[in-house]
Amino acid sequence: MGYRYEIRFSGAGGQGLILISIILAEAVGIYEGKFVSQTQSYGAEAWGGSSKAEVIISDEEIDYPEVMNLDLLLAMNQKSCDAYYRDLRQGGILIVDSTFVHQVPTPRAFSIPFTHIAREELKQEKSANIVALGALTQLISIVSPKSIEAAVLARVPKGTEKMNRAALKAGIRAARQAKKARKEIEIVPEISEEELRDAY
Amino acid sequence: MGYRYEIRFSGAGGQGLILISIILAEAVGIYEGKFVSQTQSYGAEAWGGSSKAEVIISDEEIDYPEVMNLDLLLAMNQKSCDAYYRDLRQGGILIVDSTFVHQVPTPRAFSIPFTHIAREELKQEKSANIVALGALTQLISIVSPKSIEAAVLARVPKGTEKMNRAALKAGIRAARQAKKARKEIEIVPEISEEELRDAY
């Protein structure tokens, strides 16, 4: 039985989501030899300046390159988080750019300030997409940081390699912190009704 | 009844086919308000270094973003022409880069030396994809040169606008010549068996 993993990157136009979806598809398809399709749609339903790009990964040829059961949603702004959270399957992974997403619909989301990191650490706000891509490698096991790095360096303009490597590293660091923070939250034991009564 | 128009760009990796498919999708989806999906697939079936990108255009929402009945094939090298010509529907349009495609499977193809034009007229071989995009606007009526120009300028790196405008124009000129040449061929009446006998 084959697997199928569905990813959607969403946010505002200009946040570079199509680019990172292509980089992810190339990393997985070319460097890791899996089957991948990568799609974006435009149309009358699109709200002004929004962007959505999807990557579907499988170990079998992909017949239907459309999201059916979303495994991972990256939302780089509030509007896309609100619009697409409902498409995420139960137990699916939500990653938000906490620079712009302040109303997070689940405490289980990974909230990472991608744009803030890009602005402060890299002095290049536009690299927030590559920071997010670096983070992704720590939050799912479908693609290695090494494949992502190779695919990034093959796609970005000459002269920006060093900056893009730094962006990936910043994303990896931030995701590790976010995972650690979530674990710390999770080990706080739930308080039972009984304990709650006893506490007063 | 809605229409659906299916386009595939194919060639070698590095010929910039994904980029022009995204530009076409944005031109049609953003500047002309139609429904568009744009897809590329990678996988074990891909032969070394080849590239394929598809654009589907409709006046209705696109449920199935996969080619079913190919209306237009752009083949930028021989391998992709050989591999995909059979997917073209009867009466579909074949456009080849005659710099690299020497065995053209139908006399009704538009053979235009995109790479040669980019190399000689623009001194920038890599712009062959934008030359092809310019040509496209003359060979199908689905997108205006104006929308294509706006979408190109929104996507290409700063400082390359002038060169990309020149590439579009070169493509438009070449396509007009190719159309004219094809008309001239077509008005040569077919010689009947009888006439052929009389000619000797």
ipTM: 0.77
Tokens 């084959």 label which residue?
A: A2
Distance, in Å, from the CA atom of B72 to the CA atom of B63, rounded to the nearest integer, reads: 20
Compute the distance between CA of residue B105 and CA of residue B75 in angstroms, rounded to an integer: 11
User: Span B137-162, mean pLDDT?
Assistant: 94
pLDDT 10s digits, A71-108? 999 999 999 999 999 999 999 999 999 999 999 999 99
**Which chain A residues touch B38 with a CB distance below 8 Å?**
39-42
Q: Tell me how far apart the alpha carbons of residues B85 and B83 are, in angstroms, rounded to a whole number.
A: 6
Considering only CB atoms, which residues of chain A are within 8 Å of chain B?
18, 22, 25-26, 28-30, 33-46, 61-66, 157
Q: What is residue B132's predicted lDDT score, i.e. its pLDDT? A: 98
User: Is B35–A43 a contact, with Cβ atoms under 8 angstroms apart?
Assistant: yes
Residue B72: Cβ within 10 Å count: 20
pLDDT of res. B30: 86
CA-CA distances (angstroms) from residue A145 to A24, A133, A166, A172, B61?
Answer: 11, 9, 13, 9, 36
Task: Retrieve residue B195's tokens.
Answer: 């006439």
Cβ-contact B138, B144 below 8 angstroms: no
| B contacts of A44 (beta carbons < 8 Å) | 33, 35
Structural domains in chain A plus CATH codes: 4-188 (3.40.920.10)
Contact B44, A59 (CB under 8 A): no
The answer to whether A12 touches A1, Cβ cutoff 8 Å, is: no
Residue B41, SS3?
strand
Closest of A121, A120, A147 to residue A134, by C-alpha: A147
Q: Which amino acid is at A21?
A: S
Contact B36 A44 (CB under 8 A): no
∠ CA A93-B43-A161, nearest 5°, is 70
Nearest CA-CA distance, residue A41 and chain B, Å: 4
Chain A neighbors of B157, CB-CB under 8 A: 157
pLDDT digits (tens, 9 = 90+) for A172-194: 999 999 999 887 776 655 556 66
CA distance linking residue B41 with residue A55, whole number of Å: 9
Q: For an interface test with B, which of A4, A35, A42, A68 has the most B Cβ atoms less than 10 Å from its Cβ?
A: A42
